[in-house]
Amino acid sequence: MKARVFSGVQPSGNLHIGNYLGALKSWVKIQYDYESIFCIVDLHAVTMYQEPQTLRAKIEEIAGLFLAAGIDPKHCAIMVQSSVPAHAELAWMLTCVTPVGWLERMTQYKAKTESQQAVGDGLLQYPVLMAADILLYQAAIVPVGEDQAQHLELTRDVAQRFNSLYGETFVVPATHLPLVGARVMGLDDPEKKMSKSATAAGHAVALLDPPGQARKKIMRATTDSQPAVDFETAGAGVRNLLGIFQAFSEWTDDRMKAHFTGMRYGEMKKQVAEMMISHLEPFQKRYREIVGEPGYVSGVLREGAERVSPIANATVDLVKRRMGLYALS
Ligand code: ATP
Ligand code: MG
């Protein structure tokens, strides 16, 4: 039996090149080596207010983007978190074994609550729900961007704590980070990671941005006061742009250095934009074909939920038995 992979994306905005290079691209690469489950985590998205109609539309858009990226629905399950109630059920059981101090330490919790006056409890509980998503399927590997490494660490802690309290129950999952593109930074501010929920216009290139707009965002990206590329002294903005080029092109470090050293920033940005667009254009064409087929995406999501539900329900059943909870049967 193949080991299982689980990963997800929140339908909380427009998917960007960071989500693609950090997550989707690895999923496509490893999908046939594992039994793969890719999830649209809508229960996570509502930890911040989402306009209901927009959220509903985003769910199918993101499923379309998974398919356009090359996820094969014949081999992998593509599903929506809220269509499998066991995610929320297991999250409660895990909440009860998670010390609140572990959650208060999470960097994302601190960052996302900084600007808010009233903080929803969901934001604090988010990593427990994420642990439930992963442990529910006894996933061995979780391919994510670097920003999720801390939540994965917590998932392992929760699994180990549960296993030591109630006996071996969960597979303790490993984090899988891409070698390049694990942390794409904001184009407007290379000190902050590129995020769907950031609102500044020049912050991110969305996967569905028209090529002209995508090019403009790269050309306007923040760099530094040097005129040309120097790999030793380049600032965060330049390193980010070169990282985007390398992640799309899959060039080696040596080839990157030989090609870009001494290149003026204007020319370098042009080449980064063209490399990115050469991947985005065929991707967008596939996306339009996929969503143009009536009922196709919703069928994939229904089938995905049907395929994973027995696995999820078996885990909840096992957890109930371990904890002494009541199950009719
Ligand atoms: P939000 O701002 O709503 O949290 P997000 O851009 O962080 O959106 P998520 O849905 O939280 O996106 O994450 C989906 C996947 O994309 C995760 O595996 C995450 O690690 C990865 N990811 C997110 N941002 C980046 C980034 N800037 N670089 C690389 N990977 C990323
Ligand atoms: Mg995020």
SS (H, E, C) 206-224: ECCCCHHHHHHHHHCCCCC
Pocket test for ligand 1, best of 175, 195, 207 (most atoms within 8 A of CB): 195
Ligand 1 centroid to residue 199 C-alpha, Å: 14
For ligand 1, atom 18: residue with the closest CA? 144
pLDDT value of residue 119: 84
∠ CA 30-35-38 to the nearest 5 degrees? 75
* Residues that are catalytic: 112, 193, 196
* Ligand nearest to the backbone CA of 9: 1
Sheet with 4-9, edge to edge strand ranges: 77-80, 35-40, 4-9, 141-143, 174-176
CA atoms within 13 A on the CB side of 18: 25
Query: In tens digits, what is the pLDDT along the chain, a chain of 329 residues?
Result: 799 999 999 999 999 999 999 999 999 999 999 999 999 999 999 999 999 999 999 999 999 999 999 999 999 999 999 999 999 999 999 999 999 999 999 999 998 888 777 888 999 999 999 999 999 999 999 999 999 999 999 999 999 999 999 999 999 999 999 999 999 999 999 999 999 989 899 999 999 999 999 999 999 999 999 999 999 999 999 999 999 999 999 999 999 999 999 999 999 999 999 999 999 999 999 999 999 999 999 999 999 999 999 999 999 999 999 999 998 76
SS3 137: coil
Q: Are strands 4-9 and 35-40 parallel, antiparallel or unpaired?
A: parallel
Task: Determine if ligand 1 sits within 6 Å of the CB of residue 9.
Answer: yes
Pocket test for ligand 1, best of 17, 19, 39 (most atoms within 8 A of CB): 19
Contacts of 306 (CB under 8 A, 6+ apart): none
Among 296, 281, 282, which Cα is nearest to 73's?
296
Task: Determine if ligand 1 sits within 6 Å of the CB of residue 176.
Answer: no
The whole-angstrom separation of Cα 67 and Cα 73 is 8
Q: Whats the size of the chain, residue-wise?
A: 329
CA atoms within 13 A on the CB side of 37: 30
Ligand 1 centroid to residue 184 C-alpha, Å: 9
In sequence order, the β-bridge partners of residue 4 are 35
Ligand 1 centroid to residue 27 C-alpha, Å: 14
CA atoms within 13 A on the CB side of 81: 29
Ligand 1 centroid to residue 21 C-alpha, Å: 10
Contacts of 253 (CB under 8 A, 6+ apart): 246
Contacts of 227 (CB under 8 A, 6+ apart): 264, 265
* Ligand nearest to the backbone CA of 198: 1
The whole-angstrom separation of Cα 109 and Cα 203 is 21
Among 96, 83, 107, 81, which Cα is nearest to 165's?
96
Tell me which DSSP letter residue 12 carries.
Answer: S
The whole-angstrom separation of Cα 156 and Cα 150 is 10
Task: Determine if ligand 1 sits within 6 Å of the CB of residue 10.
Answer: yes
Task: Determine if ligand 1 sits within 6 Å of the CB of residue 12.
Answer: yes
The whole-angstrom separation of Cα 167 and Cα 189 is 47
Ligand 2 centroid to residue 316 C-alpha, Å: 26
Task: Determine if ligand 1 sits within 6 Å of the CB of residue 193.
Answer: yes
pLDDT value of residue 329: 66
